[in-house]
Amino acid sequence: MAELHPDNPYAKDRFADPAKSVEFPPEAKKKFDYILTRYPSKEAALLPTLHLVQETWGWISPEAVHYVSSLLDLSPANVFGVVSFYNMYNQKPVGKYHLQVCTNLSCMIRNAYDIYDDLCDKLKIEPGQTTPDGLFTVTEVECLGSCGTAPVVQVNNDYHEEMDVQKMESLLEKLK
């Protein structure tokens, strides 16, 4: 059979490896138990649990999908459906610093595309890719709700506001 494109949902690495299994470390397990007390059904805890998975491992692996589905009594397909619906869940590992550049209209008017293009050029990667040293991933994202201080770049959880190409380059140096 021909090799499948890596983004294809039927690509090999999209299936859980039965030899690998994952489990929350005790600290995360405690958080998970708390999450369950806050919702009237197990299923409703799915989004916060997936956030917890991503906090713990940086992305949501097929093994983690199966783990979450067993924790919440859902089918893996159901969990996968939710993971792939929401932008913030990384379906592949990302770099240590996930650089998310908002390019929506308000940021665009304030030259967000210059930042975005400069990042891709400097790091020699295409949008969505990670640098070979595993440090940076660049993605273009939709409105981050920070239009008054545009342009904005979200690095992991933190907003960096009123950015420009130079500020971005010095931030990049600091992170390296």
Partner 1 sequence: MQPIKILTANIDKPNSTSVDTYVASGGYEDARKALTTMTPDQVVQLVKDSELRGRGGAGFPTGAKWGFVPKNAPRPTYLLCNADESEPGTFKDRVLIEKDPHLLIEGMIIAGYAISSNPMAYIYIRGEFHYGATVLEKALQEARARGFLGKGIFGSNFDFDITVARGAGAYICGEETGLIESIEGHRGQPRVKPPFPAVVGAFGGPTVVQNVETLSCVPLIVKNGADWFKSFGSPKNTGPKLYCVSGAVKKPGVYEFPMGVNLKELIYEHCGGVTGDRKLKAVIPGGGSAPMLLPEEIDIPLNFDALMKAGSMLGSAGIIVIDESMCIVDAAWRLAKFFAHESCGQCTPCREGTNWIETVMDRIERGGGIPADIDLLKDMPENIAGRSLCALGDAACGPALSSINKFTDEFRYHIEHKSCLPGTKRYRRLDRPSHAH
Residues in contact with partner 1 by the rule CB under 8 A: 38-41, 43-48, 50-51, 72, 81-82, 85-89, 103-106, 108-113, 116-117, 120, 126-128, 139-150, 154, 157-159
Shortest approach of partner 1 to residue 157 CB, angstroms? 4
- State how far the Cα of 165 lies from the Cα of 145, in Å rounded to an integer: 20
Shortest Å distance, C-beta 63 to partner 1: 20
Q: What's the closest the beta carbon of residue 19 comes to partner 1, in angstroms?
A: 29
User: In this complex, which beta carbon is closest to partner 1, that of residue 57 or of residue 159?
Assistant: 159
Q: How far is the CB of 78 from partner 1 (least distance, A)?
A: 9
Report in angstroms how near the CB of residue 18 gets to partner 1 at its nearest.
26
Measured from the CB atom, the residue of 11 and 17 that comes closer to partner 1 is 11
The residue (of 36 and 135) whose beta carbon lies closer to partner 1 is 36
Q: Name the nearest CA neighbour of 128 among 82, 94, 159, 80.
A: 94
Residue whose CB is less far from partner 1, 108 or 171: 108
20 vs 145, which CB is nearer to partner 1? Answer: 145
